[in-house]
Structure 1
């Protein structure tokens, strides 16, 4: 077949979910992929990253309990960690994902997809063969992002790692330098220091600068306790690798960092440079702008043509997280079916076809030591949005459930209260295993639960979730 109802370029979690919703709705779909079906998350990001981090987190948790600590007679086994990571990355083979596509009735076309005109996609296979596909209703771009490598002289020639090389590494280098203190840099510093590397984290803008300051301070302290050399404000000016293989990173302050490998973790760039955007009047290499139902907009701010082109996931820059991309994908697949079949389009805020949570309630977990869980606004982002909020904080270590969870439990949680609406618009927690607190906060913010009603959501005792009661009490309820 060369004609389908919907063509999706990109077979990561976002593209897979778009195609699945389309097929469930009774339409036909083809998905185009140049690499592995399953995308960045399955092989080079979420899954292998969490696998690299989990063993060390479990060991730390056991060592915080005296009875369990007494049973530990050895140290972390890096080879076993890497082997488990390999299993969760499926050995970097996509047979299982391809089998799923076939099972649910989604056609897979291997090769590099490019727009060739309205509802038309050309696919170039590795062999050079080209096939032209036509969509009856829509084309969806779900090609995600790649690591952004800054233009530091010598960095590319030094064989710098990105997240791909880091999470697929077969050993921990003796010395690892990481450029960038964001999520990837902080998580990889946590992982490789536990695996035995001597890690230097060059964090020009600080460690996790986009979270609440108290949360980043906990992570910074833990990294330093783990032996990570954190250089706040460090800015590389040049990088070189000598004949012996040592990487030399010159810093603006005159210092030099030496390492066996250097990892670049300075942000993401959209995979849109070679998508044929110029063939439909758009600018290659840019983030795509979309409307409330994720139709791509042209330079005038109108849906392209008759609204046949959509962009879901990282490429539209609404929320660069896999779970948010999949959320968008479900909305996109359903709205395409609705428009194709003449059904009603629910495009009001919080409607079925409008991923409103991307703008108001995005949950995220940073799997450092300790974890950071957050959803909605921080104090800084609320101020930028013009909201009048008050922050209420509470010491997690003072909660009975947390004290039972681990000896010496240290952490903190906060809520942001919109005084005009008397509701929560932001939540952040830092501490061991705080990820399990996050969904309750996401529900409270998404549902806009009034504080006087939230007061009646009684947390079980003794659990870490009791912090909700303490936060509300501190807020004056």
Structure 2
């Protein structure tokens, strides 16, 4: 098993539970990107300000909030989430699960063969009886912008692990990492400029990116949309970012958040006829096309670059590897545990900005492009009684995309405070293909924000 992040751990755990012996190979920290440089530290940075903002939106509580964030306490709490970038706890879990661990750079060197090179240069050759799985993840993409690499830019790793908050931060990008880190560093006291070559949160419903852009501006950020970065220069303690609009932005640090690239350049793909540095294509059992022994899961597959989807793929892969090793028939039914079909139509995602954006399934545009006859239903979440209890002047929007021919929900998007907690219900509706007629009988409790489901159905009118 190449890679001991959440995905690799889950493949290994399921395979061990299925009766196999598994060796994890990891060159960095056991627990991977999500644990130390992505999901967990980023949310730890975001949550304190979110809690303060929530209190300030409720009369009575607002009067009790008299100070700002304790920045050092926020950073210290973040450090506790990462165990100060030590993986002792994760290693103990691996050992307790009956999984072996070898540290070093693993490379494919033959059929079912992996050679691991340790930090001291010693090598260990591993030969699998049944399968090799790749879950090495992805790295931040640094685009070919003049001067950018020489300017020592931050990536998501530096942004989530910084020991000090820069006085000013320029962010190149408009996706999830860019908007979340803009939100976090504004709350920590940085002057933030966000430069995006298009709108924000492209690929989501347009109103989501528009709401986040408006909120960032209200919080004091400069948001430059439809703007290319043409050149970056670092001079001493300052970085200058030149843009296509003729504006030059100066900041103490520049964060590049323009996408991800697969961590497959140095794992021996060429030995088995695959191209180093490419994404790895798999079927829904996570087996690499053209091989009966090679599997991949997580970011490297480019199916859905989200930790929860990677773990979902990993569970399928581990179960499949164990089943095939024991000669058990592998189910390809949509409800079978051996396939990762949700990657195609029921991927949930939360962007922890202010406001939050929670979505699952297809946007209206994506559904129409797929040839689905859709009806779009919008509703202001603030008009729901539970939202008014939750926060004074609650602002938010919900959209339900209905497949009119099949009479099921094809996609849902929520924008507003704490809408992430609405997402699992939407995911069940989309993944379970619950008929609209049955959703009418899923009665939401009053007064909760979940009553948005009733209002959406009433607006739909059937």
- TM-score, normalised to structure 2, is 0.99
Aligned to 1:255: 247
TM-superposed deviation, 1:218: 1.2
Aligned to 2:424: 439
SS at 1:414's partner residue? strand
- Write out per-residue CA displacement over residues 6-37 of structure 1, whole angstroms, 9 at most, x where no aligned residue: xx000000000000011111110000000000
- The 2-side partners of 1:332 and 1:448 are apart by 24
TM-superposed deviation, 1:383: 1.9
Say which is worse superposed, 112-121 or 378-387, in terms of deviation.
Answer: 378-387
Choose which of 343, 350, 354 in structure 2 pairs with 1:358.
343
Say which is worse superposed, 321-330 or 381-390, in terms of deviation.
Answer: 381-390
Choose which of 411, 420, 436 in structure 2 pairs with 1:451.
436
- The 1-side partners of 2:203 and 2:114 are apart by 38
Aligned to 1:100: 93
Aligned to 1:37: 30
Aligned to 1:323: 308
Structure 1 outlier segments of 4+, above 6 Å: none
TM-superposed deviation, 1:215: 1.6
TM-superposed deviation, 1:348: 2.7
- TM-score, normalised to structure 1, is 0.96
TM-superposed deviation, 1:384: 2.2
Matches within 5 A, 1:223-302: 223-243=216-236, 245-297=237-289
Aligned to 2:166: 173
- Write out per-residue CA displacement over residues 268-318 of structure 1, whole angstroms, 9 at most, x where no aligned residue: 000011110010011111011111211111xxxxx32xx100010110111
SS at 1:204's partner residue? coil
SS at 1:253's partner residue? coil
Aligned to 2:410: 425
- Write out per-residue CA displacement over residues 372-414 of structure 1, whole angstroms, 9 at most, x where no aligned residue: 0000000121122221111100000100000110001000001
SS at 2:283's partner residue? coil
Aligned to 2:190: 197
- The 2-side partners of 1:375 and 1:394 are apart by 17
- The 1-side partners of 2:273 and 2:190 are apart by 48
- Write out per-residue CA displacement over residues 159-183 of structure 1, whole angstroms, 9 at most, x where no aligned residue: 1000000000112111100000100
Choose which of 141, 150, 153 in structure 1 pairs with 2:146.
153
TM-superposed deviation, 1:427: 0.3
TM-superposed deviation, 1:233: 1.4
Aligned to 1:125: 118
**Is there any run of 5+ residues in structure 1 with no aligned partner, and where?**
1-7, 298-302
Aligned to 1:3: none
TM-superposed deviation, 1:236: 1.1
Is 2:74 aligned against 1:81? yes
- The 2-side partners of 1:132 and 1:193 are apart by 49
- The 2-side partners of 1:205 and 1:216 are apart by 10
Choose which of 416, 434, 452 in structure 1 pairs with 2:401.
416
SS at 1:137's partner residue? coil
SS at 1:136's partner residue? coil
Say which is worse superposed, 186-195 or 252-261, in terms of deviation.
Answer: 252-261
SS at 2:15's partner residue? helix
Say which is worse superposed, 37-46 or 383-392, in terms of deviation.
Answer: 383-392
TM-superposed deviation, 1:210: 1.5
- The 2-side partners of 1:72 and 1:282 are apart by 57
| Residues matched between the structures, number | 462
- Write out per-residue CA displacement over residues 20-56 of structure 1, whole angstroms, 9 at most, x where no aligned residue: 0111111100000000000000000000000000000
Is 2:218 aligned against 1:222? no
